[in-house]
Amino acid sequence: MDSEKLNAERNAELRALGISRYEDDYNKSPAKTTHFIGLGGCGCNVLQFFHKKGLEGKYTGITELGERILYPGINYISFTPPRYDPFNLSNPRVLFPDMRQKLVVPEEIKELFRENHRYVLIAGLGGYTGTKMVEELTLWLDDIGKVFVTICSLPFYFEGKIRNTIAEKSLIKLRPICNFRYLDHIAILDQCLVDLTVPDAFLLGNKKFYETYNSFIRFDEFMRNGCQEKA
């Protein structure tokens, strides 16, 4: 399915949700350690990009490790989603993540949130780990009053209709959360004046994640300073 057709199918309302109502909890305590947590393959790729950019904080990646290159300075937690054999071939190489299965968050991951940190959750929506984990953790952190921001992406058109449908449903669940931000990879490609290779497209996505995070911080600081001046 081409980009133009998938663009037409994507609900315009979802694209109007770039910034939800403001809540300034994230920067209330400058002394807090910022803890960046990448969820799934996309989240961990963005996490590595943030780390290379020199953002200060603690870094944790949660994904299937496999042959992934482990970067110094990032703590990795291996997580394997439940799988199924869609073709009944009994072949481990063709098993797919089973989105029908409920997520069970390992205790090792829950332990990450016992610290008094400012958490930054990063994920690409559409796959099991990125989608299920970011939904569960975002709603939980919001419920218990932790200081955090969640930044997610909608998939590129070339990632397929199924991933895009899953991502849109997840976005509907997450959008009421005040400190939730997202970026739309399809919209990003539509704004490009030249055709990009797949690696270049993902690199551009990493840069947009970085810009989104910095925009959130600048907006938060602006609002806090404005409120202080009025007081």
Go through the domains of the chain in sequence order and give each one's CATH number. 3-230 (3.40.50.1440)
Average pLDDT, integer, range 58-67: 91
Q: Average pLDDT in the 50-64 region?
A: 95
Over 70: is that where the pLDDT of 30 sits?
A: no
For 9, what's the count of Cα atoms within 13 Å in the CB-facing half-sphere?
A: 13
* Phi–psi pair at 155, nearest 5 degrees: -65, 160
The confidence score (pLDDT) of residue 45 equals 95
Give the global pTM: 0.81
User: How far is 47 from 38, CA to CA, in rounded Å?
Assistant: 5
pLDDT at 50: 97
Quote the pLDDT of residue 190.
82
Which tokens sit at 97?
């993540």
